[in-house]
Amino acid sequence: MSQHTRVSAAVRAAYDAQYDEDMAAWRALGAKFKARNIREVCAGHRFGSVLECGAGDGSLLLQLARAGFCPELHAAEISRSGVAVIGRRDIPGLRSVARFDGYHLPYPDKRFDLAVLSHVLEHVEHPRLLLRELARVSRFQVIEVPLDYSPAVDTRVGHFLAYGHINIFTPALLRFLLLSEGFAILRDRYDPGHGEVDRFQRYRLQGRPRTLRAEARRRAVAGLVALRRRLTPAAQRRERRFNAYCVLCEHGGGELSVLPST
C-alpha cells in the first residue's frame, strides 16, 4: 500500500470533533446490537486479542468487554475526539488506543486474533486499501455494514452524505468485495433492526412527541415492515429487507488477481 494514501483533509476534519457527549447515548445503544451481532457470528471461536478499527468513542469495545468477549482489547481511530474519549473511558481489558491515518495501522503483521470493522467501510474513500491492511494485522475479521441500498438511493445522496456514508452496500456487494480481495466468509448475520433503536431515533434524536397515537403508528409501520420481509422471496429479502449485515471472515493470503494471463 502506498504510504502516501491518507484520508482526505475534508473527511478527517469532519470526524476530528465528532465524538462528544451529545450523541453518547445513541452510540451506546447502537453498540449494544452491534456487539450482539459480533458475538453471534463469532460463536465457537475464542480470541485472545481484538482490535477495533474505527473505534469511535469506544462504545462497542465497552459492550464487548462487559460481555467477556476477549481479555485483550485495542482501539484504532482517526478522530482526535474519539481517541480522547476512549482514553477517558474505563474499558476492562483495553490495552492501547492509537490514532491512525485511516489506512496504515501501526501494528506488526498478524498482531491480533481478530480485527473488527463495524459500520466503518461505508465511510471509507478507498475500502480495498483498508481491507488489505486489516488482513495484514489480523487472523480473522468481522465486518458489518448498514444496508442503505434502495432502487432510488441515487436520489438521496445528500441524505447519506450527511451521515458520512460515501459507499452503499448490499450483502451481495459486500461479499463480492471481500471474495474478490481473497477473504473467505465463515459466517454471516442479517440484522432486521430493533424497536428500541427506532424509538430512540424518533423521540429523542428527531424530537417527535411520544404520544399513544404516535407509538401505535410506529408499531404498525414496524409490523408492516416485518410482514413485507416475511412475504418477500428469500433472495430479494436478504438484499433489501434488513438493516445491517455482519460477517466473520478470514483472509487467504493472496492478492487481487484479474485478467489471468494465458
User: Could you read off the pLDDT of 126-153 as tens digits, one per residue?
Assistant: 999 999 999 999 999 999 999 999 899 9
Give the domain extent around 15: 9-192+239-251
- Residue 262 within a domain: no
Q: What is the pLDDT of residue 22?
A: 65
Q: What are phi and psi of 184, to 5 degrees?
A: -100, 130
Residue 262 has pLDDT above 70, yes or no: no
- Residue 178 within a domain: yes
Q: How far apart are CA 7 and CA 164, in angstroms?
A: 13
- Residue 261 within a domain: no
Q: Give the CATH number of the domain where residue 46 resides.
A: 3.40.50.150
DSSP state of 182: T
pLDDT tens digits, residue range 59-71? 999 999 999 999 9
Contact 250, 139 (CB under 8 A): yes
pTM over cut 0.75: yes
**What is the domain count for the chain?**
1
DSSP state of 65: H
Q: How far apart are CA 40 and CA 202, in angstroms?
A: 28
- Residue 259 within a domain: no
Residue 79 has pLDDT above 90, yes or no: yes
Q: How far apart are CA 119 and CA 197, in angstroms?
A: 15
Distances (CA, A) of 211 to 27, 184, 196, 207, 218: 25, 48, 16, 12, 10
Report the greatest alpha carbon distance in the chain.
68
- Residue 75 within a domain: yes
Handedness of CA 96, 101, 106, 111 (dihedral sign): positive
Q: What is the pLDDT of residue 178?
A: 97
Residue 158 has pLDDT above 60, yes or no: yes
Half-sphere exposure of 59 toward its Cβ, with a 13 Å CA cutoff?
20
- Residue 120 within a domain: yes
Residue 3 has pLDDT above 60, yes or no: no
- Residue 201 within a domain: no
Residue 20 has pLDDT above 90, yes or no: no
- Residue 210 within a domain: no
Confidence label for 261 from pLDDT (cuts 50, 70 and 90):
low
Q: How far apart are CA 169 and CA 245, in angstroms?
A: 9
Distances (CA, A) of 90 to 54, 62, 70, 184: 18, 8, 16, 35
* Mean pLDDT (the chain, rounded): 91
Residue 10 has pLDDT above 80, yes or no: no
